[in-house]
Chains A and B, each alone.
Chain A
């Protein structure tokens, strides 16, 4: 072996070692700064991780676009919902007086709020775009309380990393990281376009996450759980979406 090729070999070895070390260090840093999504394993993991990490670095504090009242869609589309369960219909007959939003997990004061209690919290109205992964969209005014306020009221632990939320619809549950949970535009909504939130749009309570696709804005929410580890929920992929083959992070 000539000197030249030996030098080449050593250089290549060093570069490979540095590269592998670099990737390992990057993975550790990414884990530490919350840049790895819960569905990062498997064939689609590299793409999902790149998307989530890139968007968390670029959009952590960015605000979703808000529109003028004149841009509100006159005919929004509610999408299909499963026939309402008997329990839902019973609560609906009682004007949702019996509806509760339970908050538990890593909080100092677990609670269960009625819709009226939530309506007495500081109100935020915003006109934002809702896009479905199918391709359609509409703009509407959403009225509610910032999720961050509710998390304050119950005394969320500083170690919290995710908020898991569930729907009255069975098998529908999602989760978001704290960047979205504490984001000022993430609302627990009870009103739409100046009125009550119609049931076909998610009434009485819908969590709106305007920087992600529509499927993260779960309708008919009944509970929030604050956690530092998504592995304990369902199959450990973060939400029901990856279990059905859809990405956990839907900021795309």
Chain B
């Protein structure tokens, strides 16, 4: 009797669309590994940056040459004149070790995710905009909905809308590959084996400058991502990314 009641209750709470989890296990695991890697890269990247907060274009640049721009902050090295009269604590050593270790975590996780995305149909099913979706009318109405901060319908919590799809595709297939490429282009050993990977950007200092800007774009994505998750219901979305399923009340609505 109790068994029957349970079965009936779970059947009514779980409509057919919820038979599969919102996010597959691979997506959930790679999402959080990427989160750890990205936050680590961000913090250590800032630490590495403050040893020389000036940027250049071309192959070379140092304190004797004009900067493309500088960031008006104190530096962590005595060799770098900032005009602040004091030098920040130097944490470059472990920051560099950790930056490259986190980069490996990001690259290996990314490889796993992309292979999974291609072979499981995740990209095709969940990220590529359907043909009918991809019109200027659809795009402008989606932008309008976002600008009015209209909360998503219950239906939308089970799939990505057009703007989400475009944002995720840009992050996965443009920004992450570019930030990895510009990072590798700063390596003297990689430059020796693949000189074209450096000259494509106009030189190693150009690669460093681009690495900085692409990191800023990724940070902007992270901020917007968190704002959007908060507007849509922070704990429900985070829960869906951890357990695979949004909060229980959202199911009955769909």
Cβ-defined contact, A138 with B186, below 8 A: no
Kindly state the separation between the CA atoms of A45 and B97 in the bound complex, as whole angstroms.
Answer: 9
CB proximity of A207 to chain B, nearest CB, Å: 15
Cβ-defined contact, A64 with B191, below 8 A: yes
- A230 interface residue, CB < 8 Å from B? no
Q: Which of A15-23, A110-118, A129-137, A147-155 contacts B (4 or more CB under 8 A)?
A: A129-137
Which of A133, A211, A212 is in CB contact (< 8 Å) with B96?
Answer: A133
Kindly state the separation between the CA atoms of A97 and B54 in the bound complex, as whole angstroms.
Answer: 40
CB proximity of A157 to chain B, nearest CB, Å: 26
Q: Which residues of B contact A122 (CB under 8 A)?
A: none
- B93 interface residue, CB < 8 Å from A? yes
Report, as a range, how many residues of chain A touch the other chain: 35 or more
Q: Which residues of A contact B100 (CB under 8 A)?
A: 47-48, 51, 247, 252
Q: Which residues of B contact A79 (CB under 8 A)?
A: 79
Interface SS of B by simple majority: helix
Report, as a range, how many residues of chain B touch the other chain: 35 or more
- Given A47-B97, A131-B186, A139-B60, 6 more pairs with CB closer than 8 A: A47-B102, A47-B104, A131-B188, A135-B51, A247-B96, A251-B188
CB proximity of B139 to chain A, nearest CB, Å: 40
Binary flags per residue of A57-86, CB closer than 8 Å to B gives 1, else 0: 011001111010001010111011000000
- B123 interface residue, CB < 8 Å from A? no
Binary flags per residue of B37-77, CB closer than 8 Å to A gives 1, else 0: 00000000000110110100001111111000000000001
- A182 interface residue, CB < 8 Å from B? no
- B101 interface residue, CB < 8 Å from A? yes
Cβ-defined contact, B188 with A76, below 8 A: no
Binary flags per residue of A153-196, CB closer than 8 Å to B gives 1, else 0: 00000000000000000000000000000000000000000000
Residue picked from A211, A247, A252, most chain B C-beta under 10 Å: A252
Cβ-defined contact, A139 with B65, below 8 A: no
Q: Which residues of A contact B52 (CB under 8 A)?
A: 132, 134-136
Cβ-defined contact, A134 with B204, below 8 A: no
Kindly state the separation between the CA atoms of A80 and B81 in the bound complex, as whole angstroms.
Answer: 12
Among B100-125, those with CB < 8 Å from A are: 100-104
Binary flags per residue of A14-58, CB closer than 8 Å to B gives 1, else 0: 000000000000000000000000000001101110110001001
Cβ-defined contact, B198 with A44, below 8 A: no
